[in-house]
Chains A and B, each alone.
Chain A
Amino acid sequence: MIRVSELFARFESRRDGAIVIPCQTARQPWFDVSREPDLDVHFRGCMGKGSSLGLGLAMARPERPVWVFDGDGSLLMNLGTMATIVAQAPPNYSLFVLENGVYAGTGGQPVPARDKLSFEGLARAAGFERTFTADTIQQVDQNLDAWLQWTGPVFGAFRTEIVPGGNRLRDQLPHLWDCLGRLRSRLAHPPAS
């Protein structure tokens, strides 16, 4: 079982200009570690469409990595996204699912078939050629650099703790329109290096 805060610290240290879309209860732990908030899109609602938003961004901006941290419940609501992503196959796109077995944002109700289905198996069946599943932070430490070098689209499943969520998050984190507005400005006018 992976602690999300530890996982995200490792991603942030390797970010290198990536656009990051943390979905649902992944938003708070990503907010806590992010050092480039202008490239973050804190996403909730819309029946699990964060991965689809990421696809559009990846196609529009092929020069930047796009990382989507989806929930297992969110991904199940928008499962056709896998076929849509594979059909376009953007090389800069990675879809990561934080697999905790519950709808954390609504109180922790179990997702369907949580003890039976394999998200990596679903991804492979949909046509993702580069996939992995990690159960421990040690596996992440051993492999993350390599995974981030893979040519996309990449699918990765992380079996994680449950991050508490729900309505309390709604007023504390940046709203979607603010995130998208900042990101649009940043992409149109990147800071001088």
Chain B
Amino acid sequence: MTQISVTPELLVRTIVENGVTHVPYLPDIEHDSTYQLMSRAPSLTMIPVSREGETMAVAAGLIVGGKKPLIVIQNTGMFESGDSIRGFGHYARIPFVMMVGYRGWDPAGHPKDSAAVYTEPVLEAWGIRSFPILEDADLSRIAAAYSTATETGKPTAILLPEETK
């Protein structure tokens, strides 16, 4: 794999086709066109938050209330959210799904900053299975992330490197 090639339109269409209802999110610069497209999708209710740790709590309320949220944050925001991930994902046993912007990821295996260095080790430490989406062919992993979360009763993470299209 030498190039990331996920088409934002296909990504958002797949999110919608998976029945996602709400998107608690805090944007990052690498995925601006994805946010723009999600904001225009009639079936998605966008919930901008002030700090990333709110997203797990909002998602927990939505799930308990019968909805299907997709949390969208950057890996740096995931680090910031540690106690919310622990509390809602592990203590409260809410199987939320996060789509995490993989800032600093490098296809050649040379991360551009420490955010990328620690992303997967932190997820592993939390016991959270990750589903990288590096090209359009990987978009079926969104459904896999949801089914794994439901089956295991634990959160999962979709990893999404920087947009290139």
Contact = CB atoms under 8 A, between A and B. Distances in A.
Given A49-B54, A52-B58, A176-B92, A59 B65 contact: yes
A167 interface: no
A84 B58 CA distance: 10
A52 B91 CA distance: 16
Given A49-B54, A87-B48, A59 B83 contact: no
A49 to B, nearest CB: 4
B22 A59 contact: yes
Interface string A39-53: 000000111011011
Interface size class of B (residues with CB under 8 A): 20 to 34
B66 interface: yes
Chain A contact residues, majority secondary structure: helix
B62 A46 contact: no
B61 A54 contact: yes
Interface stretch (A94-102, A131-139, A150-158, A179-187): A179-187
B54 A60 contact: no
Contact of B88 (A46, A58, A79, A184): A46
Interface string A42-76: 00011101101111111111000000000000000
Given A54-B61, A59-B62, A60-B66, A45 B83 contact: yes
B3 interface: no
Contact of A59 (B49, B57, B61, B94): B61
Contacts, number: 109
Contact of A180 (B22, B56, B64): B64
Of A46, A80, A83, A187, most buried by chain B (CB within 10 Å of CB) is A46
Contacts of A59: 22, 45, 47, 58, 61-62, 65, 67
A34 interface: no
A188 B64 CA distance: 9
B111 interface: no
Nearest to A66: B61
Of A47, A49, A57, A175, most buried by chain B (CB within 10 Å of CB) is A49
B133 interface: no
B67 A45 contact: no
Interface string B79-106: 0000110111001111000000000000
A183 B60 CA distance: 12
A172 interface: no
A81 interface: yes
Given A46-B83, A78-B54, A56 B91 contact: no
Contacts of B48: 84, 87
B18 to A, nearest CB: 18
Interface in A16-34: none
A-B complex: 6 closest residue pairs judged by Cβ atoms? A56-B61, A60-B65, A80-B50, A52-B57, A46-B87, A49-B57
30 contacts: A46-B57, A46-B83, A46-B86, A46-B88, A47-B83, A52-B49, A52-B57, A52-B58, A53-B58, A53-B61, A56-B58, A56-B59, A56-B63, A57-B61, A57-B64, A59-B67, A60-B62, A60-B64, A60-B67, A61-B65, A80-B50, A80-B54, A81-B54, A84-B47, A87-B47, A177-B92, A183-B64, A184-B66, A187-B64, A187-B65
Interface of B: 22, 24, 45, 47-51, 53-54, 56-67, 69, 83-84, 86-88, 91-94
